[in-house]
Amino acid sequence: MVPMAAQVVVVAVTKIQTTPAIAQNMNMVKPVLVALGLILSFLFMGATKAAVLPIERADLLYHSYEGDGVTIDGPSVLLRKNIAGKVSVSANYYVDTVSGASIDVRATASPYEEVRKETTVGLDYLNNKTLLSTSFTNSSENDFEANSFYVGVSQDFFGDLSTISLSYSKGWDVVGRRGDESFEEEADRQKFGLGFSQVATKSLIVGFNIEHISDEGYLNNPYRAVRFLDSTTDRGFSFATEKYPNTRSSTAYSINANYYLPYRAAIYGDARIYNDTWGIKAQNVKLGYIHPIEDDWIFEVFLRHYKQDKADFYQDLFSRPDEFNFMARDKEMSTYTGLTAGVSVSYEWQFSQTATFKKSAVHFEWDYMTFDYDDFRDATAQTPVGEEPLFGFSANVLRIFASIWY
């Protein structure tokens, strides 16, 4: 009774064709996955019945992000249907409409409007206590095209108290630049994930996750520029295109826990540490509380703190255009602290467990985010070069959606 799923993962991993650069990283990770795939083969000894598929539902979401002079909003539709208790198919259609200009755009160019469309189709297959998940995603906008596929295996064992999961994802990006027809670059990405979760008590579940991501190709944003001292200009500085390394490799480790409080409520938390070959180190921690009232209302609040140290080749201001081999001024690469606070409320209508539509709900979720940069300055400020105030901004994120379960 040797399981197919783990074997599939092992074979797939050993047969993956990669470029030399990514192969370096994979040499470390592949044997681990092979080992884990083989170990998964064990978990099937004496396997009896099954776990359950994801719940069938349909959701219609309106999302909105407003901050730093930018508004990005749009719909997201998610549908999921289970077939014969073994297979679950899902589809998501998501749109981002971008308008306005962020600090990066305000400092270098003029505002723009853009639309991004993303489609994902997924298939989950349940066999005994193994859940095999696959999905394919396409994201398309006028200057960027991304395709990726994902495969994951999740296995319940030890009386369904433990779950181990492995995941692999591969992505291909084609990067363009508005106004420059000849500009076309590529970037590839691979992700390897390992997760473990454990039911600790009747009310507590804990887990940890590790994810290793490798990128290769054109990895910077073609619209971001570095600034360097230039006494020949009025402002005292000029811009040049960023130059990033061709590869990036990162590892993130996270732990999480969910605890059920005696009066029917739950608290949850997660923490992550991250580092990569660009020198970025980050930590974040989140704590949340969910409070239902009767069968109808569910309230939730959370707080998340994020701290990041800059990439090795990041500087807000360089001395000259070719000072280093790699130069970045993208604020995502800088040293900064982010705080997010969120509240949400939902209301459910329970129909009948035997009816076609079992229940429906409406949800309202609002997050307030702040970003405070330690080494990214507001280059639009009218002050001497290098003495501009450190930049910071806040954003409001909304998620308003309706769901139906069938």
Partner 1 sequence: MGFLNKASIRLLLVACIATLSSGCASTFESINESINPLANLEPWVKPYERSNLADPIMSMDRNPVASAYAKHVFESREGARGADGGAGGGCGCN
Partner 2 sequence: MTNMNTALATSILAKPLSANRMLQFLVTGAVVVALTIGSISAMAKPLSGEESPDFTLKSRDGGNIKLSEQRGNIVLVNFWASWCGPCRQELPAFEALYQEYQDLGVEILAVNVDDEAEKAKVLLQDIEVSFPVLFDTSGEVSQLYDVSAMPTTVIVDRDGNVRLLHPGYRKGDEKKYEKAIKMLMRE
Residues 21-80 that bind partner 1 (CB under 8 A): 27, 31, 35, 38-39, 41-42, 45-46, 49-52, 54, 59, 61, 63, 65, 76-78
The one-letter code for the residue type at 246 is N
Site string for partner 2, 153-182 (x = CB under 8 A): ----xxx--x-x------------------
Shortest Å distance, C-beta 38 to partner 2: 9
Length of the chain: 406
Q: Does 258 bind partner 1 (CB under 8 A)?
A: yes
Instruction: Looking at residues 6 to 35 of the shown chain, list those that interact with partner 2 (rule: CB under 8 A).
Output: 20-21, 24-25, 28, 32, 35
Q: Return the residue of 264, 322, 362, 383 that touches partner 1, per CB under 8 A.
A: 264
Interface with partner 1 in residues 97-156 (CB under 8 A): 154, 156
Q: What's the rounded Cα separation, in Å, for the pair 87 and 83?
A: 5
Is residue 314 helix, strand or coil? Answer: strand
Is the separation of the CB atoms in 73 and 63 below 8 Å? Answer: yes
Residue 332: name the closest of 244, 256, 253, 217 by CA: 244
Partner from partner 1, partner 2, none contacting 226, C-beta within 5 to 8 A by type: none
386 lines the binding site for partner 1 (CB under 8 A): no
Do the beta carbons of residue 154 and residue 134 sit within 8 Å?
Answer: no
Q: How does 310-340 read in b/e, with b if 16+ C-beta sit within 10 Å?
A: bbebbbbbbeebeeeebbbbbbebbbbebeb
Our finding on whether 244 is near partner 1 (CB under 8 A) is no
Q: CA 89, 94, 95: angle at the middle one, nearest 5?
A: 165
Residues between 182 and 211 with contacts to partner 2, criterion CB under 8 A: 194
- Applying CB under 8 A, which of residues 82, 197, 247, 315 lies at the interface with partner 1? 197
Q: Which window, 50-58, 175-183, 314-322, 389-397, contacts partner 2 (CB under 8 A)? A: 50-58
Residue of 91, 100, 111 whose CA lies nearest to 64: 100
Site for partner 2 in 292-331 (CB under 8 A): none
Shortest gap between Cβ of 213 and partner 1 (angstroms)? 5
As a whole number of angstroms, the distance between CA 52 and CA 163 comes to: 13
Nearer to partner 1, 15 or 231 (CB): 15
Distance CA 122, CA 385 (A): 51
Positive or negative CA dihedral for 28, 31, 32, 34?
A: positive
Residues 338-397 touching partner 2, rule: CB under 8 A, are: 352-354
Q: Which residues bind partner 2 (CB under 8 A)?
A: 20-21, 24-25, 28, 32, 35-36, 39-40, 42-43, 45-50, 52, 55, 84-85, 157-159, 162, 164, 194, 245-247, 249, 277, 352-354
